[in-house]
Amino acid sequence: MKVALIQMNSGADKPANLAAARALMERAIAEEKPDWICLPEVFDFMGGSLAEKRAASETLPGGPAYAMLQDVARTNGVFIHAGSLLETIEGEARVANTTVVFNRKGEELARYRKIHMFDITAPDGKTYHESAAMKPGDAVVTYDCEGVTVGCAICYDLRFPGLFQALADKGAQMIALPAAFTLQTGKDHWEVLCRARAIETETYFVATGQTGNHLQGNETRTTWGHSMVVDPWGHVVARASDGVGYVAARIEPDRVTRVRAMIPVAQHKVRFD
C-alpha cells in the first residue's frame, strides 16, 4: 500500500485551506499514485476565536470540507484519512477535533474525535488551552483499509502510550497521527515519540504535521512539520522537508508480521492494576 502525507500551513481562511488541501492531494495523486492520503490536524481551520471556530465547524456528514474530501476520494479512487476538521456538536458550545476517513468511493469509513486536550504552557511561555474550545472524544477507533487495520490518533494523543496499546490490541498494523505540533515541543519530542510509538506497538506510524506560522488572535504561533513514516522497527523511512508539500512511502504489512515474530511483545504483556 502506498501512502502520501500532506504537509500544510493552514490558517483562519477556510476556503483557502480547502483549496490548498485539494491542490496538494491532487498533486500527490498525479505524481505518486497513492492508495491512501493523510492530511494534518485541523487542516480546514487553524487559529481564531471559539466563535470563529464554531462558524468554521461542520455538522457531519456534510459541509464544504466534507464534500471536498468525498469528491477527491471518489474522483481519484483513493482513501483519504482527513487529518482532522472542526465538527459541530449539537447542544455544545465547543467543537470537536475530528478525523473523518473516506474509502475509494467517497463513502465515510470511520470517524475519530481527539481524546487528549492540549492544555499546557510551552517552554516559550505561550499558553495553550485546547479544552476551552474543543470537547474531547472517548472512543478508540480503528478501520480496515483493504486488509490493513489502521488506528486513529491526533497530535497530543502522541504522549499517551495507553491509547496506542489499545489500538494495537484492536489489531492496528498502521497508526495515523495527524498533528499540529508546536515548534517548541516538536524540535525535541516529535521524532522521539513517533519512533517510540512505532517500536512499542510494532506498527507503521504515519505522522502528518502542520508547518510554519499561523495567528492565534494577535499572537504568532509556529508548528513543527517534519511529517514522517516510521516502520515497525523504528526506522524513519520517509520524511518531509520544511515547508508545505508532501512525502510518500510504501507500507508493507509483511514487515509488521516479521517484526512481531522476532520480538513478540504482544505475547509478553503483563497487565497491571
Provide the annotated active-site residues: 41, 114, 155
Task: Write out the three cell numbers for 234.
Answer: 523504528
- Contact between 83 and 42 (Cβ < 8 Å): yes
- How many Å apart are CA 260 and CA 253, to the nearest integer? 11
Q: How far apart are the C-alpha atoms of 1 and 152, rounded to whole Å?
A: 17
CB under 8 Å to 135, separation ≥6 — which residues? 89, 92, 94, 95, 96, 113
The DSSP secondary-structure symbol of 226 reads -
Pairing of strands 119-121, 127-129: antiparallel
- Residues, the chain, total? 273
Written as nine digits, the cell of 225 is: 512539520
Q: Copy the grid coordinates of residue 115.
A: 481524546
Residue 243 is classified by DSSP as: S
